Amino acid sequence: MHIKPKVKEEAIHLSDLAWKEFPPTLSSGGIRWKMLHASPEMGAWTAIFDCPAGSSFNPHFHVGPGEYLLTKGRMDVRGGSEHGGDTVLAPAYGYESANARHDQTQFPVDSEFYMTFLGPLAFIDPDGTPIAVVTWDEAQRAYAG
């Protein structure tokens, strides 16, 4: 049996990575991001997002669990607390579970959050039809591209 090596550690200063536009087909209002890490074996990935006041993500499912640290601003998740979801003000932590559906994720003020994802984000049409499955691999290629 071939002995497999340990995975290499990584460390990076955020200022060494460029902010890039998050695909406007999947978001609106000028969201930018830095892809921080891809885990090809687990299918996990990690990123930080810069979300100007008024920006939002299009409807999507979290295929696996995700955890975030909101470092700046305000995020209205799953419609925000006014519509049965959560509204968080920085600094805040949140856990989104496998199969969590996010019809609306909105940023009413300039905001920033760091998030780890196990598995892809499945962006959907309003009727739930998948339109794009953003895996660790799609994410790294979108950021590099």
Chain positions 86 to 145 lying near its own copies, rule: CB under 8 A, are: 86, 88-89, 91-100, 114, 116, 118-120, 122, 130, 133, 135-137, 140-141, 143-144
- Residue 31 CA to residue 112 CA, distance in Å, equals 10
Which is nearer to its own copies, 95 or 126 (by Cβ)? 95
Which are the contacts of 6, defined by CB distance < 8 A and separation ≥ 6? Answer: none
- Residue 4 CA to residue 22 CA, distance in Å, equals 35
Which is nearer to its own copies, 31 or 63 (by Cβ)? 63
Question: Which whole-number Å values give the CA distances from 101 to 12, 89, 115, 127, 145, in the listed order?
Answer: 31, 21, 16, 12, 28
Which is nearer to its own copies, 39 or 56 (by Cβ)? 39
Residues that bind its own copies (rule: CB under 8 A) add up to a total of 63
Structure tokens that stand for 26 in this block: 């999947």
Rg (CA), the chain: 15
What residues make contact with its own copies under the rule CB under 8 A? 1, 3-15, 17, 35-43, 46, 48, 61, 63-65, 67, 69, 71, 77-78, 86, 88-89, 91-100, 114, 116, 118-120, 122, 130, 133, 135-137, 140-141, 143-144
